[in-house]
Structures are given as C-alpha cells and as structure tokens.
Structure 1
C-alpha cells in the first residue's frame, strides 16, 4: 500500500509491499503476553518526489529472501512504482537506511540511482561483527555484496552523520537497531516529516521505550527516540517503519490502487 503526503512542493509516498504474522515476542523485547499471540508487522518503502528528483527510501526485501524468512510479498517495490507511473530507471537517489535484508534488497533494480549509505553501516555490514551469527542474522549476503558492488561502480555517496540529499531533504544518523541506521527528514515550512525506518518500528514504542528484540546497541535505540522527537519538533510528524497503523490511520490514495494510501 502507499500513502501520499503533500509538503509544499514535495510529494511523499509510503509504499506497503509486504507483511507477516509474527509472535508478539518477536516484535518487542519485553512482553507480558503469556500466550505469545500472533501480531502483524508490515513492510514499507518510501518515495519522495521533488519535480524531476525521485528519491526512494529503502528498496524492500528480495522475493526469495522474504519467502525464506516467512514474509509475504504483496507487491514487488518495482511493480508498485510501475503502477504509480514510475520506472525504476527514473529513480535518481536511493537512501539505504540500513543494510538489513528488508531494506536493502533489490539494489540492482535501480540502474541510474545514487545510493546514500552511512559510513558506519557499510563498515558494520562488511566488518568483524558479521563473524557473529546473531549480529549478521538480519543481513542478506547478496544484498550486502550488491552494496559493495555499487561502491566499486562509484555509485555510493557516503554520509558520516547528518547530511543533505537535496535542500529540504536530509539524512540523520541514529544507529541502535543497526550501527549505521539513518532516518530521513523532509522539510515543510517550520515542521519536518520524519521517515523513521527502523529507528521506530511501532508507534507505541514511543510511549513506553519499547524496543524491537534485535539491535546492535540498546542504548542508541532508546536514546534514538528522543532524537526523533527533537527532529520532528512540536509540529512535525514521525512515521514508524513497520507499524500496521500506517495503513489503518490514513485514507486510500485511490480506490483502484490497493497499495496506495493518503497520509496527510
């Protein structure tokens, strides 16, 4: 599903491409639910448009990788873009929030894009931490290798902390869930839209400092929530990365586009 936010001259789309039913214990670090009932997690990529600049935030999971992990692919991100009248070759920039399998699959599908990755994330995904099974578990080997290939093709723009994609659209290093996790902000007047990705899996984490039970640095996860609040300010909007409420809270973009929803 996708949603649209009109921010002055900006258009921002949330594309819902996948879903899964998982036990509650898979989705929060601490739970008192003794029955460990199934709960839903949804998967999104985001499209930011400014005139002829088309910025894709994350590229989703590769179909085979998702299936192997028990995730349901609802629509391939490339097919979703095509349904919106956008060819993958028209994407000018891809922000890889982090290199986990569900955010950095399908990288070769965007042949003309510049890829934006944090220095810390590339070092993490290709360094000694990947010698440990628990730390490499959310990474897909081929996805990381594809990212390395892009480096050797001179198609990666590295960021060391906060940086600018284009005026009004920035990346901000948060870390926590992955060493080099970055979030994306889009400016609208005096407020910011914050695409939180996995810096905030679910909105309710903000209420009780909940955490997804997979992380590189727990302290950075929890303190990252404060950074999201500061970025958004009093009038901004934080969009969580995997929350089904994104689908429930907002209206469809168009009745004939089942993957499309209007956020604002």
Structure 2
C-alpha cells in the first residue's frame, strides 16, 4: 500500500460560542455548556481548504437582526474579529485564496459564510442540500435557508454516500458520516506531524464517543450510532486524533489560530 500524502498545515479559526443546556447536544446529559463553533483551514500544495464557515459575519454586530430570538436563546457570544473572513485575513489570506469549501452539513452554525466564496469548489454530503431546504419539522429551527441559497448555480459536488479523497493522495479525505443530517460529513486530515479527524456534528461532546450516544435532534438515530462507531474505528486505523468541533474540552486542549498544526 502506498504511503499517504500529507497536507502542509491546519488552523482552527477562532470561534463564537453558544451557551446551552447539554441536553440539547447529548441524549441524557444535563447542565449548562459553552460550546465553540470553529471553522478549519487546511493548506495543501494544491490549494486552501475550508471545513465549515461558521456563523453569518453580520451577526457579530447585529445578532438579533440575523438570527432573531434564537441569538439570545442560545446565548450567542460573537466578536467582529471572530468572523470567518476576519480570521482568514488575520492569517494573511484573501477570501479568493480559498479553493475548496467543505460543508460538514447545512445547519446554520456551519453555513453562515458560504456566500463569501463564490468561486470555490463546494462539497456537501448526499441529500443534505435538499434536506436543508425542506427539513423535517422537528429540526427545522437548525436550518437557515438564506445561508445555503447562495450555492444555487455554484460549483457544488455532492459526496455520494461514500468517502472522497479530495486530492487523491490520502491527505484530505471527506468521510461520509450521516445521521445528524442525511449528508453529515467528517474530515480526515493527515499532516506531517499528526493526523486529525474533524467530526463536524457527527458528535457534539466527548462523552458521545465513549457512550455511543446521539444528539436528541439527529435526523436518523440509527445512522448516527453507526457513524459514531465508525469514527472510533477510523481513529485507530488512521492513527488520528478526533477533534469534535463543538466540544469545549477539545477547544481548550488543541491550539488554534494564529497557531497551527504542521
């Protein structure tokens, strides 16, 4: 078997937060929890990759104007310097430098900056765009159709229910991990010094990995459980560290921009 290639660097971009009850994130959990909502920037010799785009930048100065009562209900804390465009610019990049954008799924806290990258190659999981525009009523509040509308007519590739090696060298591999939404995606990133699996919302907290517990509002609980088990298997086979996007312990433990992993 050929030795996989590696990306060059990865940054976790600084992040706004929600403060919510853990019961929203993990079945059977309780207590208040402040969670981050980061995006991740990966530098590969063939171009820059952005995994998720966070919240709408305008919400940093007018949260109620963008999200209405949801902003207060979820305890949003969002500074202007934490917007995805400001974060990229702070690292010395222009928005047009981003060649690939991967949406882990179409919930509003991951899609707010999609419109910033009109010329990028977009990846979404099979069925997620349709579900985002026409969600089940029980989970409809997690979607903001205005965020995904800019993808109409753009260069969007739907990952068709299997993993996808973005550059063909094993360095950046989109993992199909459905359940939270029909097309939920995770991402395996191989770096020279360390491998990561970025989970998107396949899981929300570390306890979900050890107890194999879903989020109460997952679209398909059976698929969610299978995907959580799959992450645990992939962690071992890929010799990778799992980074749970919303987990505050992961955010505290791992370095983030301007520092990077190489």
> Deviation of residue 8 (structure 1)?
5.2
Among 20, 34, 51, which residue is 1:57 paired with? Answer: 51
Closer/same/farther in 2, CA of residues 16 and 211 from structure 1, 3 Å limit: farther
- Match status 1:45 vs 2:46: no
Listed one character per residue, the Cα deviations across residues 167-222 of structure 1 (whole Å, up to 9, x for unaligned) are 32111211111111011112357984211110121122112123322210111112
Among 193, 204, 208, which residue is 2:207 paired with? Answer: 204
Closer/same/farther in 2, CA of residues 243 and 181 from structure 1, 3 Å limit: same
CA distance in 1, matches of 2:83, 2:231: 29
Closer/same/farther in 2, CA of residues 90 and 203 from structure 1, 3 Å limit: same
CA distance in 1, matches of 2:258, 2:249: 14
Closer/same/farther in 2, CA of residues 8 and 144 from structure 1, 3 Å limit: closer
User: What is the TM-score of this pair, normalised by structure 2?
Assistant: 0.83
- Match status 1:231 vs 2:225: no
| Counterpart in the other structure of 2:70 | 69
| Counterpart in the other structure of 1:88 | 95
| Counterpart in the other structure of 2:166 | 165
RMSD: 2.4
Listed one character per residue, the Cα deviations across residues 60-110 of structure 1 (whole Å, up to 9, x for unaligned) are 111244564222223101101100111111100000111110111121111
CA distance in 2, matches of 1:192, 1:76: 26
Q: Tell me if structure 2 keeps the 8 A contact 1:199–1:221.
A: yes
CA distance in 1, matches of 2:44, 2:225: 32
5+ residue gaps in structure 1? Answer: 1-6, 254-258
Aligned length: 241
Among 25, 28, 45, which residue is 1:27 paired with? Answer: 25
Structure showing the higher strand proportion among its residues: 1
Among 4, 8, 14, which residue is 1:10 paired with? Answer: 8
Mapping of 1:130-145 within 5 angstroms?
A: 130=135, 132-145=136-149
Closer/same/farther in 2, CA of residues 201 and 24 from structure 1, 3 Å limit: closer
Listed one character per residue, the Cα deviations across residues 225-252 of structure 1 (whole Å, up to 9, x for unaligned) are 111122222521111010111232135x
Q: Tell me if structure 2 keeps the 8 A contact 1:185–1:192.
A: yes
- Match status 1:175 vs 2:178: yes
CA distance in 2, matches of 1:211, 1:219: 9
Among 225, 249, 254, which residue is 1:222 paired with? Answer: 225
